A and B are shown apart, each in its own frame.
Chain A
Amino acid sequence: MTRPRQQLLILYLANSDLGSPVGAWSFYDGAGNKTGMSGDSATPPYPTGLAAMQDGWRVIQLATLRPAQPGHEHETSYLKFEVVLEKLVETAGAP
């Protein structure tokens, strides 16, 4: 009996357009042991968020666009344009 398990691909885009270039990325593998590590890849898995969708990845979360706080308009911190995508993979894992 197979069980569906989740893989997550998180892409950080240049702007809020899903077709904009990928600048950072992470992969978390709930179906196996292929979870990525810091610095293990120099090339993004897809050139854009849209390219990942066209390859079967389902968008499950988009970063909300928030106005800058007054007085902090030019501060930067975390990556703004995070897109979380998933695939469900059938595995032979325990129920």
Chain B
Amino acid sequence: MTAALTGAAAAASSSIAARPLLTSAQMAHFVARGFLRFDGIVPHPLCAEALREIENNARPGSYGVKHGDARARLAGQPLDDVWNDPGGIAAVMRLPAIRGVVHSLIGPGALYDHHHAHTVEAQHRWSQPWHADAIIDPRAAFDIQLFFFFHDTPREMGGTMILPGSHLRRVHESDIARYQNFLGQLPMVCQAGTLLVCHHGMWHCGQPNFTRARRHMLKLRLNPSVPQRLTWDATDREAPEVRDLLTTPEPWHGNEGRLEIVNRLRLWRRLTGDDSFDADYWLTRLELPRG
């Protein structure tokens, strides 16, 4: 599509080449806890455009469409090809700050997986059971899921609740629905324009909406098209904060916290290509020559 960009979309694309990358501390936070949050990353005019798209179903998702529908063939295509129009959510994804986040986490050439606008009606008092999206996923590589909150989302409105540090657990979708509450569970309470980016394995659930207003959250899943290797600004790789983040367990981990740390360290090695990286001797001890 070659239509001229106008208004908020033009502003969003004015410095499209600039992609401010994440720091190693931010990446370590993502590896350890499975998410990053960016408040106010989407300007309000673009939030309004995106909300209009959602309300008008102007960018219907591909999830669950019939196999004869062209949208069923979008999965796995470059995001820049799938959303090449000038406005709304496509413009949001061209914001330099958001391009930097995506590039840092999954590298260049992000592939579109699917998106879905999650709408929860006013006075909807049912809470979605805990689940991890898709199916049990043993890959070492990871997808990212972008949760966009285009309007203010106070606690009485929901929004999405996540369980920090759950992303490296191998579970299948709603197998975890028996669980109701965890120490450290985190509801997304935020102002308009906030982005939550999660590892694909993050346990999450939609919360009830006790307000008189309809709630929207748009979720977009992206796959890497290249090996995820030093795709961020890694100049601070040796900062002590990196190891501190990777070795801090969540309050619900209990005795399994050490195993979570081992799995984080292995993921960090994969992302950095540094097979000797360690913290607190957890991996090195296991790799000592056997007598």
B213 within 8 Å of A (CB atoms): no
- Taking residues whose C-beta sits less than 8 angstroms from the other chain, chain B's interface range is 20 to 34
Contact of A37 among B126, B176, B182, B185 (CB under 8 A): B126
Whether A24 lies near B181 (C-beta < 8 A) is yes
Q: Could you say which of B54-62, B145-153, B226-234, B253-261 contacts chain A? A: B253-261
The contact of B255 among A10, A22, A74, A81, by CB within 8 Å, is A81
The 8 Å CB contact of B208, one of A27, A37, A42, A78, is A37
A77 touches B169 (CB 8 A): yes
Q: What's the dominant secondary structure at chain B's contact region?
A: loop
- Segment from B18-26, B78-86, B100-108, B127-135 that makes contact with A: B127-135
**Would you call A80 an interface residue if the criterion is a C-beta within 8 Å of the partner chain's C-beta atoms?**
yes
Given contacts A13-B254, A77-B169, contact A39 B263 (CB under 8 A): no
* Interface membership of chain A positions 71-83, coded 1 if the CB is closer than 8 angstroms to chain B and 0 otherwise: 0001111111100
Instruction: Using A74-B263, A76-B170, A78-B171 as known contacts, say yes or no to A37 and B251 having CB atoms under 8 A apart.
Output: no
Q: Which among B128, B175, B254 has the greatest number of chain A C-beta atoms within 10 A?
A: B254
In the complex, the answer to whether A38 meets B181 with C-beta atoms within 8 Å is: yes
A79 in contact with B179 (CB, 8 Å): yes
Q: Is the CB of A78 within 8 A of B183?
A: no
A23 contacts B253, C-beta separation under 8 Å: yes
Question: Which A residues are within 8 Å of any B CB, using their own CB?
Answer: 10, 12-15, 20-27, 36-42, 44, 74-81
The 3 residue pairs across chains A and B that have the minimum distance between CB atoms: A14-B254, A37-B127, A23-B252
